[in-house]
Structure 1
Amino acid sequence: MENARFSAWISSICLFLNIGLNALCVYVFFPGMPEKAILGVALATVCARCVELGCCVVHSIRYSKVKFHLPGKDRINRQLRKDFLKYTIPIQANYFVWGGGLTVATSIIGHVSADMVAANSIATVVRNLAIVFCAGISSGGAVLIGKYLGTNDKLMAIKASKRINLYALILGIVAGVSILVIKPLVSLVVELNDIAQSYLDGMLYVCAYYCVGKSINSTIIGGFFPAGGDAKFGLWCDIVVMWIIVLPLAYLCAFVWHVHPILLYVVINLDEIFKLPLAVYRYRQYKWLKNITRDVAL
Structure 2
Amino acid sequence: MVIQHMFGVPVKVTESKPAPPADNRIWSLYVGDLDPQVTEADLMDAFRLIGRIASLRLCRDSFTGESLRYAYVNFFTSLHASTALTFLNHKELKGQSMRIMWSQRYPLTRKTGIANLFVKNLHPSFTSGQLQSMFSKFGRILSCKVASENGNSKGFGFVQFNSKLSAMTARNALHGTLLKGKKIYVSKFVKKSVRTVANEETMKASLQGQNKQLFIARAQQEEIVNCHTEKLKASSLPAKNSTHPVHYSSFYSLGKVFLHDYEITGPNQTEATNQYRETKF
Q: Provide the TM-score with structure 2 as the length reference.
A: 0.23
Higher RCO, Cα 8 Å, sep 6+: 1
Q: Provide the TM-score with structure 1 as the length reference.
A: 0.22
Higher helix share: 1
Kindly name which structure, 1 or 2, has the bigger radius of gyration based on alpha carbons: 2
Higher strand share: 2
